[in-house]
């Protein structure tokens, strides 16, 4: 299996950023790590190995990006407005640095966004905001509104809200999206959601799936037994949905 390690100083983030590429050809997958996890965790957890047959056949090329969640959403030492501002810098890094790298490495003109847990939020959010860049979005074990409490998963902004937060919570902005151009672009996406039946995020996945249907956005919601919010489940899910 082709494996490439990349590291460069990001002008947008003003820090070094790292990523791993697995595969030589196929559909490009922008693969976001879990909550405050790293770009190498999917490899360490055996998830890349679970995808190796498709990767080696040239069906998938996986781009495992790093996370800065500890500097944005989970940085409780700064004001929530600073947290969301740092996230927007991360988004700029993805759009202006990572996407061009994907296009330079992959000629398929097919990019999907995918992730597990917090990575699912990142994948669904960037695909819903920039649907013309993607063909598919996969959210596994995710939540799509970080301003709400779900069991022991708390509101990451502690009640604070502003326009930037609103436009980065898919459950919020999709509910009010009426722009025909954007809606049509979102409707062209293949959207897959997968969640465990006892996962604290089960209800938000059901509600988000229905919200998309209400907007004319077809999607598939897959329910798994138990919590299914662990790498051993993701090793089974990713070969099915990516």
Residue 240 to residues 42, 113, 117, 131, 222: CA-CA distances in angstroms? Answer: 16, 15, 17, 22, 11
Whether pLDDT at 125 is above 90: yes
CB atoms within 10 A of CB 190: 15
Residue 51 to residues 13, 25, 34, 55, 230: CA-CA distances in angstroms? Answer: 30, 14, 17, 6, 17
Residue 130 · residue 46 · CB < 8 Å: no
Residue 47 · residue 130 · CB < 8 Å: no
Q: pLDDT-derived band of residue 24, with 50, 70 and 90 as boundaries? A: very high
Read off the pLDDT of each residue in 205-215 and give the average, rounded to a whole number: 98
Residue 32 · residue 115 · CB < 8 Å: yes
Whether pLDDT at 223 is above 90: yes
Stronger pLDDT, 150 or 77, i.e. the higher one: 77
Q: What is the pTM of this model?
A: 0.97
Residue 171 to residues 2, 69, 207, 212: CA-CA distances in angstroms? Answer: 37, 20, 8, 9
In whole numbers, what is the pLDDT of the chain averaged over residues? Answer: 97
Tokens of 64: 């495992």
Condensed to tens digits (0 to 9), the pLDDT of residues 26-45 reads: 999 999 999 989 999 999 99
Residue that has been written with the tokens 């847990």 in this structure: 117
Res 2: pLDDT: 97
**% of the chain at pLDDT higher than 70:** 100
Burial class (CB in 10 A: 0-12, 13-18, 19+), 40: middle
């Amino acid at each position: 299996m082709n494996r490439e390690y990349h590291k460069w100083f990001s002008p947008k983030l003003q820090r070094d950023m790292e990523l791993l590429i697995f595969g030589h050809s196929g559909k490009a997958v922008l693969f976001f790590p879990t909550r405050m996890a790293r770009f190498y965790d999917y490899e360490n957890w055996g998830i890349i190995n679970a995808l190796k047959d498709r990767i080696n056949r040239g069906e998938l090329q996986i781009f495992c990006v790093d996370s800065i969640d500890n500097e944005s959403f989970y940085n409780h030492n700064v004001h929530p407005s600073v947290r969301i501002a740092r996230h927007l810098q991360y988004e700029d890094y993805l759009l202006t640095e990572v996407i061009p790298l994907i296009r330079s490495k992959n000629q398929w003109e097919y990019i999907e966004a995918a992730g597990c847990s917090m990575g699912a939020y990142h994948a669904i959010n960037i695909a819903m905001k920039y649907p013309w860049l993607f063909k598919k979005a996969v959210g596994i074990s995710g939540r799509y509104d970080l301003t709400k409490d779900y069991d022991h998963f708390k509101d990451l902004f502690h009640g604070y809200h502003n326009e930037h937060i609103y436009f980065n919570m898919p459950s919020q902005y999709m509910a009010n999206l009426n722009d025909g151009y954007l809606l049509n672009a979102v409707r062209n996406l293949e959207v897959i959601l997968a969640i465990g039946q006892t996962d604290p995020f089960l209800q938000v996945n059901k509600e988000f799936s229905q919200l998309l249907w209400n907007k004319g956005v077809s999607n598939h919601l897959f329910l798994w037994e138990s919590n299914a919010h662990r790498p051993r489940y993701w090793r089974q899910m990713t070969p099915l949905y990516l």
